[in-house]
Chains A and B, each alone.
Chain A
């Protein structure tokens, strides 16, 4: 394997570059079966992180992996499974999307922020009476950080970068040198 190019922080000035119209609306809000996937990003002092950027990548409601272009110029009809949202001044992000399908379904989530030197990966599993096999391998006290909370309109998923209730972040075996 070659040495891979290291990451760097997204920095404070991505707002005029990475966000784009429709970035966080994988489906139009209010359309059939649209759900909200949202939450707050919190730092080690318990303060909201107003300059974080999140991306989600998910299967379609039938569990299939969507392989359709059009995430940057959404036509309002094509579900691409991918979206991007910046946090607002209260550290809150929100997506309008569809429920991910398949057994043990989750939203794959990437977190970027000023102050965060490299991206972080995590998963937001849908709540289920029987935890996914992967979750059974996570410390019981921390497992809950990987499970979204059901709400009438969708799911809430808060992300704690550090400290009490620190979110479990994932390593896919790609970060070791």
Chain B
């Protein structure tokens, strides 16, 4: 059996939306906290055969897990944070800045750590062999960026606002516009890959990947906000999105000691 349902076999948006509403109702009524997102989330069809069925086993981090891999200036070029200057011409679309702070669960900045992003172009097309969405490739836009967070945990990218794109989860399924983010903390246990969304997107309510975070307070943490202070005159609009990692397990004393 293929884990990627064909269009013919897929349900409608109304069916998927009804499934999502039912899960929300169950989670609200039972009221107990769950890890977010829920790994077993059948409205996201590809999760059905790919989620563990056993409870995660509790582990206290061992020494190696209380440290994170190190990245440095030799790993990331200064221009990699600007996705609009990677080709000879200007990419098409709405130029935006995306910036924010990365902190750990105790509010401490995550400094000097690698941030990677990838995204579709303004038309909702990835430069990826398997993306067959018949929307134009932009020869001046790859959609990949990297940077290191600064001493205050800040990151900043200049890019193009991505478009929404269709996918095959169900009939007429569309992903809300998003930027994929990959983040490291100061502990191995803080590793995070997630997606940043845009405020006011009507597709968010219809999207089983976003809705797999069944607690509204939690999923809204993935939505950036428009910030006129970030907007640059005559150049780009600005979005702010702060990220909070878990933990850490390691104390500042150990850090100083090292």
Contact = CB atoms under 8 A, between A and B. Distances in A.
29 contacts: A3-B218, A3-B221, A4-B105, A7-B37, A7-B193, A8-B210, A9-B47, A12-B128, A13-B128, A15-B129, A16-B128, A16-B142, A17-B116, A44-B48, A58-B64, A59-B64, A65-B67, A66-B70, A73-B75, A80-B69, A104-B62, A108-B64, A115-B50, A134-B59, A169-B56, A170-B59, A171-B56, A172-B247, A174-B190
A58 B144 CA distance: 27
Contact of A45 (B49, B54, B58, B249): B49
Given A3-B218, A44-B50, A17 B180 contact: yes
B103 A117 contact: no
Contacts of A11: 180, 195
B184 to A, nearest CB: 9
B9 interface: no
A6 B37 contact: yes
Given A16-B143, A162-B53, 15 more contacts: A5-B245, A9-B46, A13-B126, A16-B142, A17-B143, A45-B3, A70-B75, A72-B76, A100-B64, A106-B62, A108-B64, A121-B191, A166-B53, A168-B54, A173-B58
* Residues of B contacting A: mostly: loop
Q: Chain B: interface residue count, which band? A: 35 or more
B191 A110 contact: yes
Given A55-B191, A119-B192, A2 B103 contact: yes
Interface string A145-177: 000000000000000011100111111111111
B130 A12 contact: yes
Nearest to A104: B62
Interface residues of A, number: 74
A2 B131 contact: no
Interface of A: 1-18, 43-45, 47, 49, 55, 57-59, 65-73, 80-82, 100, 102, 104, 106, 108, 110, 112-121, 123, 134, 138, 142, 161-163, 166-177
Interface in B93-142: 103, 105-107, 114, 116-118, 120, 126-131, 142
Contacts of B35: 118, 171, 175-177
A6 B75 contact: no
Given A10-B180, A161-B50, A169-B56, A69 B244 contact: no
